[in-house]
Amino acid sequence: MMTVTSTGRPLSAFAGELLSRVQENLIDEMGDAGRGAFGRVVQEAVELAMQVIDLGLRRNPGAGIPDCWCVLASQRCACEIKYTDDGKVALGIRDVQGMQLGGDADGSRLVVIDIQFPARLWVLDAQNIEPGAFQASGHAHLQEPDEADRLAIQLERLLRLADTELVTGEADAKDLLREVARSS
Amino acid sequence: MDEIREQMNCRLRETLGDDTRRADAEQLVARVCDVLDQGDTSAEAVAETVREALASSLEQAEAALAQAEQTLRGRA
Amino acid sequence: MSVVGQQTWSLCSIEIHGFLGVGDDGLTVQLDRPVTILIGPNGSGKSTILEAVEWALFGITAVGAAGEELRTPNLDAHRMYIHRGSPEAAVHLEFAADGHALEWRRTRRHTKPRPGDDAVVCNLDGEPVVPDPNELFGVTGELFRRAVAPGQGALQALISGDKTKRDAALDRLFGVELLNNLTLGLSKARFDLESERRGLRAKLDGFRSGLRSEITRRFDERTAARSAALDGEATAEMLTPAAAAASAEALGSELEVAVETRGGDLATLRETFASLRTTADARWSGTGPGERETRLLEVAQTATAHRDRWQKAVSDRLDEETEFGSLVESTGTEEHLDMELGASKDKLAQLEASLNAMNSRIAVLSSAREWIAAQPVSPEEEIECPVCERPMIESELAGLIDVVLASLAGADGEASAVQERVEGARKQIRELSANLDAVSQKREQVGTLAKREQALATDIIHRLRGHAGQLPAQPDVVEAPVATLVKEVLLLGASIAPDGSSLPTPALNDLLGRLAVATRSALQQTQGEIAQTREAAQAAREKVLSLERTIRFLEAEAQLDELDSAVGNVELATASAALDAVDSGVETLLAVIQVADGVSQAEAQARIADVAPRLSSWYERLSSHDSLRGARIDVTTRRDRGGSRNSYSICATSDDGWETGAGPMLSGGYQTVLAVAALCALSDDERSRTSLGLLALDEPTQSLDPDMTTRMGHAVARINVPRLFLTTTEETFADAATEGAGASQVRVIRLRDWTAAGGTRTEGNP
């Protein structure tokens, strides 16, 4: 049982290591562009995990803001999904606007996957977050621990189903995630 | 010291602006200036005051690491 | 500052008891005139009186040891102000300002020497007020030391050959020492914190890296185990404990082994796998048909290979018998040959006897002829025949002997014919012997072969008897025909006589032939069954191996999952968060350090800007140099060992731009002049912000020649301050100051030599 702490909800050893390998592989294949590709794979995984929790999840594909609308607990939230490998996330003005003015949502959430060892997941109440360099660990008071735990469980399950086959190109990785999500 | 305190806070406003560190920096300046006001103007007194300000985090880290070491050793 | 503190207070009286060098009898110094000059030899206590004022107001003095000891619990450091042997130290000050009177008294007891325990009384116009020098006079201890009573040390430092000392003194005098200490303290804290932080972070990183490398290793093992499992028959869906348990149960049914799975508990699965594997291996290595196969192979061996050997022996024997028959037919039987051989030998004996007789006769006649020939007789003479002993004519006798010899020994003679007949008889004997031998040998050969044939047949029977013992009592349908035929053979075998003479060769051969056919058929069937069983066992074995690979994967996965608790270790996370907070704190500290440096530098520059014009003015008043008429002061700030360090340059300047600061280029006297000018310039501005109208210069005439001493005295005496307090050892200075200020404005107090008994005393005091 992973205990959520002020440093986020730790991901399992398997999930953290797998994500790290997926990123490494994409960077090996694509250079710096691999980071962007990994971010998109992570977004896909998180959205699919969220969809298990909320079947009514609505995505905003492409460059839409926010990334999706989802009910992780009791209210519909505009969600922005980010990943980092050094603890810091760059939040643009549009990111923040997307979360805070996100359509008919009652709340806003910033989901951060930090794959720096040990990998952690945050689900943060983003109502008052400012744009700029954002360090999740410095905003532990914004953590929604139950939502983070619920999301982490589904994400870990999805990663377990995809397993090491996920270490592949971006398109194949996303296809695999969709396939295991569909068939599970 | 009031003048120095004000000068430092003014410069902090200029350099840090709305950075979240500004509040912490102003707090640190206040603590240090209070100690200087109380009469102990030595460098060591200032160093001690600053160490105290961050002591709790260091102590927390140290205690947590000691505990973690025991736990991880027990697991091994 | 209080309302009353708006005017300038003049120090009027200093009364000292039991303080430092002043004994219990005490002394009193009246400052009833604008200028008070304390003159006395070195060690007489001049500085003590100044220190008494500082101590009275602040409880401590600028004396190094006392100042530093404040932060220690060392009571002796506070007690040292009390004169040795006195129970207490007391200093009483009186101030006056615009008709108001302020009394200040501090008393420190030997038994309670801490400043906080001192009895401090302050009365303003007879009414008690809070004894706070800052509130009353706008003076802190630090400001007092800078602007009111800089002390001998400050002057000495300003003229010191050590630039560091000079710079430090100016920092104190400018009041930027505090800022320097601030930056130094901040930097020190930063280095300490960073060092500690580095140590803790290294420890945290050590834990993390150890954990990470363990995770990496176990992840790789899991991946390898997964690949191995999937390369076999397993699919990804089967790689779960529940699926593995189901596989184990199915395999158990197939192998007819009871299994325990406990829903996929790994330890149980591992045990179950071990027993399944043993069963599968046993099946694979073969029981049942394997034993039957072995028995049938042995029977087959006997019924074919051994039978073949026996049949070969029979065939050999028959061939030999045929040859024996032919030989007898051509040469006769052994009896016949034996008989003929006997006859031939008899004949030979006769012929040899006859030949021997002839040869004897020939020999006698030949001897007789040789005798005759040897007789010296003529052929017509009579001679006695040596053989018959009759007289005969020699030539007749010789002729007769020759004729007989010719008939006997000649080429066609009888002896020759008999010899031929002897040879012939011998040859015949040889032939007959050979034939006889041949026939005998052949007969013996036939006998040997017959014996061998019998032995082989007996051996077959014996072997089959052994095989019969191995056959099951109730042979199955495959083995039954073989068993039956074996019995028949044994039955037949029982009829064979011990010497093998009644060997029923054809019957036996026939039975053995049928036995070979039956055995071959049974073997074929058995080997087919074995192949089938092996195939099934191999399939089961492969399933077991696949299960093992699945279990190995599940174990590797469990090993990796074991590390979840370490990864989520709360203490590590707490330590990480705490160190992040320390990082943030250090970043904040760096920002504050940067700001403090800036403020320190700006403050030093600002103070310099304030003091510079006054310095030049003071120097002009105090100096009598021909060319160096002006003075300049500059400062540069640099970072040194983490703190801000100001480097000052105070120089005397000439109109043509030449300048000289403290150092060998400027005489000691003018260095003093420059230093005193700096002290006066520095204190001017500071004092103007206080309401304490007092300036004390302690021994401002160091290194001055008499002319400069005089000039200094004249100049200093004109300092515009309500109370000017000067100490000196020089009468010249005192006289010059008196002259400069005017005798009515000056009070000269002479101090006597200090003694242990009397302490510090003024002349006129006992």
Average per-residue pLDDT for chain C: 86
Non-local (6+) Cβ contacts of C410 within 8 A are: C416
Report the alpha-carbon distance of residue C220 to residue C214 in Å, rounded: 10
Among the residue ranges A13-22, C444-453, C736-745, the one predicted with the least confidence is C736-745
* Interface predicted TM-score of the whole assembly (ipTM), two decimals: 0.94
Predicted pLDDT at A39 = 95
Predicted pLDDT at C501 = 67
In a domain, C471, yes or no: no
Low-confidence ranges of chain A (pLDDT < 70): 1-6, 62-64, 102-103
In a domain, C277, yes or no: no
User: Which residues in chain C touch residue B24, judged by CB atoms under 8 angstroms apart?
Assistant: 584-585, 588
Partner-chain contact A5 C211, CB within 8 Å = no
In a domain, C613, yes or no: yes
Residue that is last in its domain, among C413, C447, C481: C447
Contact predicate A162/A48, CB 8 Å: no
C254 in helix, strand or coil?
A: helix
Q: What is the pLDDT of residues C675-699, one digit of tens each?
A: 888 888 877 777 777 888 889 988 8
Q: What is the pLDDT of residues C245-271, one digit of tens each?
A: 998 888 888 888 888 888 778 888 888
In a domain, C766, yes or no: no
In a domain, C634, yes or no: yes
Separation in Å, CA of B17 to nearest CA in chain C: 12
Interface subset of C 46-85, CB within 8 angstroms of B: 70-71
> Mean per-residue pLDDT for C590-603?
88
Buried b (16+ CB within 10 A) or exposed e, C546-576: bbbbbbbbbbbbebbeebbbbbbbbbbbbbb
Residue A51's Cβ-side half-sphere holds a number of Cα atoms within 13 Å equal to 17
B64 in helix, strand or coil?
A: helix
What amino acid is encoded at C271 in this protein? E
Among the residue ranges A138-152, C336-350, C752-766, the one predicted with the least confidence is C752-766
Checking if the pLDDT of C4 tops 60, the result is no
Domain edges within chain A: 9-179
In a domain, C535, yes or no: no
> How sure is the predictor about C766, in pLDDT bands with cuts at 50, 70 and 90?
very low
> Mean per-residue pLDDT for C534-549?
85
Checking if the pLDDT of C305 tops 80, the result is yes
pTM of the model: 0.59
Contact predicate C241/C264, CB 8 Å: yes
Separation in Å, CA of C747 to nearest CA in chain B: 35
Report the alpha-carbon distance of residue C534 to residue C258 in Å, rounded: 22
Non-local (6+) Cβ contacts of C342 within 8 A are: none
Q: Which one of A116, A117, A120, A164 would you mutate to disrupt binding with C, by most C Cβ within 10 Å of its Cβ?
A: A117
Distances (CA, A) of C581 to A106, B53, C63: 32, 11, 42
Tell me which residue range forms the domain holding C669.
Answer: 4-165+592-750
Q: Which one of C68, C181, C200, C218 would you mutate to disrupt binding with B, by most B Cβ within 10 Å of its Cβ?
A: C181
Residue that is last in its domain, among C447, C462, C495: C447
H or E stretch covering C629? strand C628-640
C301 in helix, strand or coil?
A: helix
Cis peptide before C386 (omega within 30 of 0): no
Q: What is the DSSP string of A20-66?
A: HHHHHHHHHHHTTHHHHHHHHHHHHHHHHHHHHH-TT-EE--TT-SS
Predicted pLDDT at C637 = 82
Report the alpha-carbon distance of residue B3 to residue C689 in Å, rounded: 14
Q: To which residue do tokens 């189903």 refer? A: A161
> Total structural domains in chain B?
1
For chain C, percent of residues with pLDDT exceeding 70: 94
Q: What is the pLDDT of residues B20-63, one digit of tens each?
A: 778 888 888 888 888 887 777 788 888 898 888 888 888 888 88
Partner-chain contact B58 C575, CB within 8 Å = no
Report the alpha-carbon distance of residue C632 to residue C641 in Å, rounded: 28
**Phi, psi at C694, each rounded to 5°:** -145, 135
User: Which residues in chain B touch residue C182, judged by CB atoms under 8 angstroms apart?
Assistant: 4, 32, 36, 43, 46
Q: Among all residues of chain A, which has the CA nearest to that of C212? A: A117
Handedness of CA C416, C419, C424, C425 (dihedral sign): positive
Strands ordered across the beta sheet of A120-125: A9-10, A120-125, A107-114, A76-84, A68-71, A58-59
Partner-chain contact A163 C236, CB within 8 Å = yes
**Which of C188, C200, C566 lies closest to B61 in CB terms?**
C200
Of the two residues C109 and C388, the one the predictor is more confident about is: C109
Checking if the pLDDT of C3 tops 80, the result is no
Checking if the pLDDT of C64 tops 50, the result is no
Tell me which residue range forms the domain holding B21.
Answer: 2-75
Q: Which CATH number fits domain A9-179: 3.90.1170.50, 2.40.50.220, 1.10.3720.10, 3.40.1350.10?
A: 3.40.1350.10
Contact predicate A115/A18, CB 8 Å: no
Per DSSP (E only), the strands in C543-620 are: none
Interface partners of chain A (CB pairs < 8 Å, 3 or more) are C
Q: Which one of B8, B10, B29, B46 would you mutate to disrupt binding with C, by most C Cβ within 10 Å of its Cβ?
A: B46
Interface partners of chain C (CB pairs < 8 Å, 3 or more) are A, B
User: Which residues in chain C touch residue A115, judged by CB atoms under 8 angstroms apart?
Assistant: none
Contact predicate A42/A23, CB 8 Å: no
Neighbours of B5 (CB within 10 A): 18
Q: What is the pLDDT of residues C485-512, one digit of tens each?
A: 999 999 988 887 777 667 788 899 999 9
- Report how far Cα C510 is from the mean position of its chain's Cα atoms: 81
In a domain, C531, yes or no: no
Predicted pLDDT at C66 = 44
Interface subset of C 103-142, CB within 8 angstroms of B: 141-142
Checking if the pLDDT of C763 tops 90, the result is no
Token readout for C426 is 């011998």
Predicted pLDDT at C6 = 63
Predicted pLDDT at C285 = 67
Checking if the pLDDT of C220 tops 60, the result is yes
The most confident of the ranges A37-41, C456-460, C596-600 is A37-41
Partner-chain contact C569 B60, CB within 8 Å = no
User: Which residues in chain A touch residue C570, judged by CB atoms under 8 angstroms apart?
Assistant: 3, 5
> Total structural domains in chain C?
2
> How sure is the predictor about C112, in pLDDT bands with cuts at 50, 70 and 90?
confident
Reported for A35-39, long-range contacts at CB under 8 A and 24+ positions apart, including other chains, are A37/A170, A38/A83, A38/A170, A39/A82, A39/A83
- Report how far Cα C718 is from the mean position of its chain's Cα atoms: 81
Partner-chain contact A7 C576, CB within 8 Å = yes
